[in-house]
Amino acid sequence: MARRKFVCGNWKMHRTRAEGRELVRALAPLVADAGDRVQIAIAPPFTALEAAAQALASPTGARIELAAQDCHWEPQGAFTGEVSPAMLADAGCVHCVVGHSERRQFFGETDEGVRKKAAALLKAGVLPIVCVGETLQEREAGRTLDVVSRQVRGALQGLAAADVALLTLAYEPVWAIGTGKTATTAQAQEVHAAIRKLLRELAGDAADRVRIQYGGSVKPDNAAELMAQPDVDGALVGGASLKAADFSQIVKGALR
Q: Which is nearer to ligand PGA, 113 or 216 (CB)?
A: 216
Q: Which is nearer to ligand PGA, 69 or 189 (CB)?
A: 69
Instruction: Return phi, psi of residue 229, to 5°.
Output: -70, 145
Minimum CB separation from ligand PGA for residue 46, in Å?
17
* Catalytic (active-site) positions: 100, 172
Q: Does 216 bind ligand PGA (CB under 6 A)?
A: yes
Is residue 227 involved in binding ligand PGA (CB under 6 A)?
no
What distances in angstroms separate CA 63 from CA 35, 84, 132, 193, one per listed residue? 5, 25, 27, 29
The verdict on 10 binding ligand PGA (CB under 6 A) reads yes
C-alpha–C-alpha distance, residues 198 and 203, integer Å: 8
Q: What share of the chain is helix, strand, coil (3-state, %, to 5)?
A: 50, 15, 35
Can you tell me which of 218, 226, 244, 250 binds ligand PGA, judged by CB under 6 A? 218
Within 13 Å and on the Cβ side, how many CA atoms surround 40?
30
Residue 45 as a binder of ligand PGA (CB under 6 A): the answer is no
By beta-carbon proximity to ligand PGA, the closer residue of 2 and 13 is 13
Question: ∠ CA 92-97-101 to the nearest 5 degrees?
Answer: 155
Size of the site for ligand PGA (CB under 6 A): 13
Q: Is 239 one of the binding residues for ligand PGA (CB under 6 A)?
A: yes
DSSP 73: S
Contact between 227 and 183 under an 8 Å Cβ cutoff? The reply is no
Counting Cα atoms < 13 Å in the Cβ hemisphere of 106 gives: 5
Q: How far is the CB of 12 from ligand PGA (least distance, A)?
A: 7
Distance CA 232, CA 229 (A): 5
State the nearest-atom distance from the C-beta of 136 to ligand PGA, in Å.
14
Among 236, 244, 250, 254, binds ligand PGA (CB under 6 A): 236
By the rule CB under 6 A, 107 interacts with ligand PGA? no
How far is it, in rounded angstroms, from Cα 172 to Cα 31?
Answer: 24
Q: Which residue is nearest to ligand PGA (CB)?
A: 238
CA angle at residue 198 from 141 to 72, to 5 degrees? 85
Nearer to ligand PGA, 32 or 244 (CB): 244
Min dist CB 10 to ligand PGA, Å, is: 4
The three-state secondary structure class of 12 is coil
Q: Is residue 251 near ligand PGA by the rule CB under 6 A?
A: no
Contact map string, positions 172 to 211, toward ligand PGA, x by CB under 6 A: x----xx---------------------------------
Instruction: Tell me which residues touch ligand PGA (CB under 6 A).
Output: 10, 172, 177-178, 215-218, 236-240
